[in-house]
Amino acid sequence: MNLFRSEEHALNWEEYDPRMAHLLRPVEWWAHTFASPMFRARARSDFISWASGPEGAAAFGELRERMSPPRPDVRATTAAAAGLSKVDISAVDGASPDDRSVEHSLMRTWPAAVPTETARHWRNTARAMIVAVPADALPGADPQLWTDTRRSAVRDVQAATGWLARADVGAGDVRLTHRLAQMGWGGEVADQPGWTAMEQSARAILKCRSLAELT
């Protein structure tokens, strides 16, 4: 975490690692990065409480997101979601939209802690799953059931993330990604707000998946 006279100087540093090339930035970018609430809050008289709470977790999540490497585009398909997720979503085959027993079964397969990498898989899965259910019902599907279920899924994601979810969210929309990444950080036990949000997001995913099964 060092300063260099120029980009060329950094590139020629003997410890330069091209795998971290995305963190070679103008000093103005770093000044902005280190102006995040995480750093300003150090002057607070309750900094440890703040940093241990949801505001601190969100600030740290934003920081990590800002410094994360660029991600390849994710194709919004169920297969892509299944490939990205470490969760065996085949467990939900045949589930109905309201089958909570399947959710609970799936929950038990998750690790108690939700590290960032897992959160990243989840947000990709959520995004892909939502997009995997087009706004227009497929031929043969009940249009009302289609619409209701899709809206319900979007509402669940919205409730879980605080993000104003749109039914027409696209694969390139990073806002949900951003919010879920925030919640993924530091989620250590089941009573963490981040965990609850993950659970709600999972329910939305399951509904989408179930709807896909129905069609």
Partner 1 sequence: MAAALTDPEQIPLEELDAAYAAIMNEIVATGVAPHYAELAHTLGVEPMRAKSVITRIIDLTPGWLHPGTDYIASFPPFNNQPTQYRVSVDGEQRWFAQCGFEALACRWLFPGRTVTVDAPCLLGGDPLRIVMRDEEITSIDPPTMVGYTRSMVGGDAASRPFR
Nearer to partner 1 among residue 26 and residue 72 (C-beta):
26
Judged by DSSP in three states, 114 sits in strand
Site for partner 1 in 54-113 (CB under 8 A): 60, 63-64, 67
Max CA-CA distance within the chain?
A: 64
Nearer to partner 1 among residue 27 and residue 112 (C-beta):
27
Closest CB 212 distance from partner 1, rounded Å: 36
Site for partner 1 in 31-60 (CB under 8 A): 31, 33-35, 39-40, 42-49, 51-52, 60
Q: How many Å apart are CA 32 and CA 171, to the nearest integer?
A: 28
With left for phi above 0 and alpha for psi between -120 and 50, is residue 60 left, alpha or beta? alpha
Region binding partner 1 by CB under 8 A among candidate stretches 3-11, 91-99, 143-151, 158-166:
3-11
Q: What is the identity of the amino acid at 81?
A: A
Closest CB 181 distance from partner 1, rounded Å: 13
DSSP code per residue over 172-186: T--HHHHHHHHHHTT
**Token digits for 48?**
């440890």
Options 20, 113, 189, 190; binder of partner 1; rule CB under 8 A? 20
Nearer to partner 1 among residue 4 and residue 110 (C-beta):
4
Region binding partner 1 by CB under 8 A among candidate stretches 12-20, 148-156, 165-173, 205-213:
12-20
Nearer to partner 1 among residue 69 and residue 139 (C-beta):
69
Nearer to partner 1 among residue 12 and residue 105 (C-beta):
12
Is 45 within 8 Å of 60 (Cβ atoms)?
Answer: no
Sign of CA dihedral 9, 14, 18, 23: negative
Among residues 214, 34, 204, 27, the alpha carbon closest in space to that of 127 is found at 204
Among residues 153, 87, 88, 155, the alpha carbon closest in space to that of 121 is found at 87
Closest CB 115 distance from partner 1, rounded Å: 12
Nearer to partner 1 among residue 29 and residue 98 (C-beta):
29
Is 142 within 8 Å of 130 (Cβ atoms)?
Answer: no
**Residue 13 interacts with partner 1 (CB under 8 A): yes or no:** yes
Q: Which positions touch partner 1 (CB under 8 A)?
A: 1-7, 9-10, 12-13, 15-17, 20, 23-31, 33-35, 39-40, 42-49, 51-52, 60, 63-64, 67
